[in-house]
Structure 1
């Protein structure tokens, strides 16, 4: 049986974290080596809840706290600082739960594939756009941050490059899909058979409610992230991997300067949301610089 780790990224997920952690506990077996909860920049009760669960029922769990609230930084930390051994490494979000024994099934299926197949995508099992996202997995070899697994050989390839996600990068799933499918060359065409999947094996999440102000805010922020990420992608595609920045601030400045052109094809309301998010990111960076100088 394939041995695996599970790494969950969490930023201020106190409302969801218990359900997601317990779902990992329930859907793993003795094949689990370690469950890492990487809490990045949390200022709520996420860490306290996770530590309580660890003490009560989840001995294989390790809670890792990072000061920076950035998923890319958390992903880089797992890849390049933790460097744990396993046949398969799963990466999951902290606001989903998982189908029956999905980790064992996915790990064993991935390890039974040829050497060229290094990733297994968790299938979306809920959501209004489920059929569309299923088609992205099956027809375009996409995978999503909610749940995917990498062979250890893929981890070693990432470490040897070394490939890091720039902090502040938005559309992360798209970049990781491209990285894996091109073996870090970021060419135009996918290499064959890089990603596999199992029908009916994957993750579920609660639908956002149109009557909840908090969930409406989550939906709006998601739109802004994705649309800004698409613009960021064009700038990174123009750079060789070796010249990718450690963070996206300079590129965000360039997008701000060229916004009329860069966002010309985005629908008006989405364009306004992207402009608002971009302004917020630039202001946050300036404030951090002033604080560091004081």
Structure 2
């Protein structure tokens, strides 16, 4: 039974309509489903999504008060999705799937019956070549556009596996879970669980040198910095203890001992944002200690 498309939309009033319009040429059929997960928006994304849903009966809008992609992912996988559908496609509301990209993701599952996840490749962006090389060489899933099989959805549900709330870079954690065959630990040799579909691609608008895009770039680097520390601390714990060590909230991993070992990267641009991230983590931990001491 067809496709189910999950679109993560947070403050995407500039891009959401173009994303939806691109679905038809990408392979969306008349009996497929589209779920727009509007989460924590402060712009007109919700109104645009509602208008699009009125014009297309395949579209259903879900309103989530918390602006958090990991939480939205949990909502779709554990509550919204149906395992009667074979292929579940995930994409960000600011990208556009290229022609036949959805069909190719679905076809890849047909050709690779053992795969749980299929990743698409970028065809725009200044770093698209190095980005694509990483996806191909490391069997990595990019969160911009990918697909999970119904079997994968079932394994997440039956195993009670949720993304930690607040996690940055849920695609990296998803890749790790699939490559360790839903167990965690140090054995990430289950490469057959992920396929890279070279015929499925996505496009997006590159940032320009204007004030709004500069603000977006700063927010992105801030997010990348926090993702770096999350990956370092969380994955070390998961490799030792398995997926049972996944926290409900990502900030639970920032213990005083973990923060004490945090060091900034040496790249001139990274070090600025890393130092700020470490400062914020220490401040949050200090505030947490004061609350507990009063209790």
What pairs with 1:215-226 in structure 2 (closer than 5 Å)?
A: 215-226=213-224
Q: CA deviation at 1:24?
A: 1.9
**Alignment match, 2:9:** 10
CA RMSD of aligned residues (A): 2.5
Q: CA deviation at 1:282?
A: 8.3
Q: The residue matched to 1:109 in structure 2 has which SS?
A: helix
* 1:240-262 per-position Cα deviation (integer Å, ceiling 9, x unaligned): 3223221122334648842xx31
* 1:118-160 per-position Cα deviation (integer Å, ceiling 9, x unaligned): 2111111111111111112221111111100111101111111
Asked if structure 1 preserves the Cα contact closer than 8 Å seen for 2:226 and 2:274, the reply is yes
**What is the count of residue pairs matched by the alignment?**
282
Asked if structure 2 preserves the Cα contact closer than 8 Å seen for 1:17 and 1:46, the reply is yes
1:62 equivalent in alignment to 2:60 = yes
* 1:81-132 per-position Cα deviation (integer Å, ceiling 9, x unaligned): 11323111000001111111211122022122132x2211111111111111
* 1:10-34 per-position Cα deviation (integer Å, ceiling 9, x unaligned): 1111111111121124423327521
What pairs with 1:90-109 in structure 2 (closer than 5 Å)?
A: 90-109=89-108
Distance 1:59 1:188, change over 3 A: same
Q: The residue matched to 2:271 in structure 1 has which SS?
A: helix
Distance 1:17 1:183, change over 3 A: same
Q: Which runs of 5+ in 2 are unaligned?
A: none
Distance 1:34 1:92, change over 3 A: same
Asked if structure 2 preserves the Cα contact closer than 8 Å seen for 1:37 and 1:61, the reply is yes
Distance in 1 between residues matched to 2:137 and 2:262, nearest whole Å? 28
Of 217, 226, 233, which aligns to 1:228?
Answer: 226
Distance 1:216 1:193, change over 3 A: same
Asked if structure 2 preserves the Cα contact closer than 8 Å seen for 1:4 and 1:31, the reply is no
Of 177, 180, 196, which aligns to 1:179?
Answer: 177
What pairs with 1:49-128 in structure 2 (closer than 5 Å)?
A: 49-56=48-55, 58-85=56-83, 86-115=85-114, 117-128=115-126
**Alignment match, 1:248:** 250
Q: CA deviation at 1:74?
A: 0.2
Distance 1:136 1:55, change over 3 A: same
**Alignment match, 2:34:** 35
Q: Which runs of 5+ in 1 are unaligned?
A: none
Distance 1:100 1:175, change over 3 A: same
Distance 1:29 1:69, change over 3 A: closer
Distance in 1 between residues matched to 2:246 and 2:193, nearest whole Å? 23
* 1:41-87 per-position Cα deviation (integer Å, ceiling 9, x unaligned): 1121101001111112x210000000111000000001111132311
Distance in 2 between residues matched to 1:172 and 1:221, nearest whole Å? 17
Q: TM-score, normalised by structure 1?
A: 0.87
Q: TM-score, normalised by structure 2?
A: 0.86
Distance in 1 between residues matched to 2:246 and 2:255, nearest whole Å? 15
Asked if structure 2 preserves the Cα contact closer than 8 Å seen for 1:31 and 1:104, the reply is no
